[in-house]
Amino acid sequence: MVVGCGPCVNGGMTKRILKLMMGVVGGVAVLAGGFLAYVQVTGIPRYAPPTANLASLKVEVTPERVERGRKFAGVLCAGCHMDPTTKQLTGKRMEDAPAEFGVLVSKNITRHPTKGIGAWTDGELLYLLRTGVRKDGQYIPPYMAKLPHLSDEDLYSIIAFLRSDDPMVTASDVDPPGVTQPSFLVKFLSHVAFKPLPYPTQAIAAPPRENPVAYGRYLVTSLDCYGCHSADFKTMDVFEPEKTPGYFGGGNRLNNLYGGHIVTANLTPHETGIGKWTEADFVRALKTGFRPDGNVLRYPMVPHTELEDWEAAAIYAYLRTVPPIQNAVARVYDTTNDPDHGKRLFYKYSCVTCHGTDGVGIADLRGAAQRYTTDEQLVAWIRNAPGLKPGTKMPRWEGVIAEEEYAPLAAYVRKLGTVPAQAGTTAP
């Protein structure tokens, strides 16, 4: 019997192990490549559509529900679906969406039977808003907000509003400007991380308004305020919001409308947050857009004129109970060295954060020159837009903008009108 030497035996074994390992690595690479190819071809997954009994659910449309639904739709839906030129929920390109998501274009959600949601049942809408799954089973990733915490009644109110005769949702056959083209990253994450939310198995009710802390918590979790004002969207805890890292401590980096970004504010009761703010300070900022220091809130934060004073006060009451976080968020305001004085003012007062560099942001300024034919009329609008049009997102600038600044600012707004406005354009 011939016995091989140790080194020879071990060397042969080592080669076999290496060969096996290379085979495993190669197999894993093939599987990974196959999975990635599968993701690219199949795109975002589909799931079971709503059951027949849920799809047949019918929401009673009452004036009270329509009015309350208008409030919630103004906060939750209009930011993404309101076209600034049509002034309807006809959809728009999401210019401030993260580039890594691809091209995002929101849908027409007016009552039009084919271009909008007129052919959807109330139950199909309810299922989409709770889970993120369309009536055909197509899943919509997290760039569409899902509403796991909103009460059944308030969700019914949103649906009642979408069924109403309100001008925002009147049937319109306007097509959104393009179609959504999700990136490979979104497709991949939709296979491994993003999943539909479960449909509730029990009724969801709002707390009584007589308990302002509880009601304030209900509003900030239902309206997703904590998502923007915590540390990072990627670490949100949808089911237990208070477990979100940096809960209401701010610092989340968001895109604006002209290629830059802002960092969200700290809303905890620490002195680096709103610890020194009074209830009146907070209500004024939330509803009118002006902070106690006189600076204006910047897009994507807009004045929530839809909220009543007691609702804003309830949010403040709840935020006072949130654990304080020390996080001094720098407030960097836009400036420009442009020789045009009006343009410098447009940046100085952060008009650019809502209207963008071309005047077409959340409100289209290009029609202002036609709507306000004299400088006197245009300046009157800038001074006190809420007094002329109650409920507008435009802040009241009287007492903020210096008298000698109105004329050059108005002149610059008129320059924006040299870009032809689309049909249906109105002033902001």
Of 174, 64, 55, which Cα lies nearest the Cα of 111? 174
Cα–Cα distance, 404 to 193 (Å, whole number): 55
Per-residue confidence band for 122, with pLDDT thresholds at 50, 70 and 90: very high
Of 324, 349, 326, which Cα lies nearest the Cα of 408? 349
Task: Kindly state the average pLDDT of the residues 17-27.
Answer: 57
Task: Kindly state the average pLDDT of the residues 261-271.
Answer: 93
Instruction: Determine the pLDDT at residue 20.
Output: 59
pLDDT in tens, 66-98: 999 999 999 999 989 999 889 999 999 988 888
**270 DSSP 8-state letter:** S
Instruction: Determine the pLDDT at residue 58.
Output: 95
If one compares 142 and 257, the residue with the highest pLDDT of the two is 142
* Host H or E run for residue 253: strand 253-255
Of 300, 314, 290, 139, which Cα lies nearest the Cα of 219? 314
If one compares 119 and 418, the residue with the highest pLDDT of the two is 119
Domain spanning 52-192, CATH class: mainly alpha
Q: Which of 180-189, 250-259, 275-284, 359-368 has the lowest mean pLDDT?
A: 359-368
pLDDT in tens, 286-329: 999 889 988 888 888 888 999 999 999 999 999 999 999 999 99
Q: Which of 71-75, 98-102, 174-178, 247-251 has the lowest mean pLDDT?
A: 98-102
Instruction: Determine the pLDDT at residue 229.
Output: 96
Pick the CATH number of 341-416 from 1.10.760.10, 1.10.287.950, 2.60.130.10, 2.60.120.260: 1.10.760.10
Dig out the tokens for 304 from the structure: 């929530």
Is there a contact between 275 and 269 (Cβ–Cβ < 8 Å)? yes
Task: Kindly state the average pLDDT of the residues 221-241.
Answer: 93
Instruction: Determine the pLDDT at residue 111.
Output: 97
Tally of residues, the chain? 428
Long-range contacts of 276-280 (CB under 8 A, 24+ apart): 277/316, 279/313, 279/316, 279/317
In 76-92, which positions are buried (b, 16+ CB within 10 angstroms) versus exposed (e)? bbbbbbbbbbbbbbbbb
- Please tell me if the domain spanning 52-192 has the same topology as the one spanning 341-416: yes
Instruction: Determine the pLDDT at residue 36.
Output: 75
Instruction: Determine the pLDDT at residue 23.
Output: 57
* pLDDT of 19 above 70: no
Cα–Cα distance, 271 to 178 (Å, whole number): 45
Domain ranges of the chain: 52-192, 212-319, 341-416
Per-residue confidence band for 15, with pLDDT thresholds at 50, 70 and 90: low
Q: Helices (DSSP H) in 132-237: which residue ranges? A: 152-162, 184-192, 212-222, 225-229
Task: Kindly state the average pLDDT of the residues 236-252.
Answer: 95
Percent of the chain surpassing pLDDT 70: 88
pLDDT in tens, 29-53: 556 677 677 777 788 999 999 998 8
pLDDT in tens, 136-157: 999 999 888 899 999 999 999 9
The rounded mean pLDDT for the chain is 87
Q: pTM for this one?
A: 0.83
If one compares 108 and 25, the residue with the highest pLDDT of the two is 108
Instruction: Determine the pLDDT at residue 160.
Output: 98
Per-residue confidence band for 419, with pLDDT thresholds at 50, 70 and 90: low
Is there a contact between 29 and 22 (Cβ–Cβ < 8 Å)? no
Per-residue confidence band for 2, with pLDDT thresholds at 50, 70 and 90: very low
Dig out the tokens for 248 from the structure: 């209401």
For 245, other C-beta atoms within 10 Å of its C-beta total 12
Instruction: Determine the pLDDT at residue 13.
Output: 57
* pLDDT of 274 above 80: yes
* pLDDT of 10 above 60: no
Pick the CATH number of 212-319 from 1.10.760, 1.10.3470, 3.30.9, 1.20.120: 1.10.760
Instruction: Determine the pLDDT at residue 27.
Output: 53
* pLDDT of 12 above 70: no
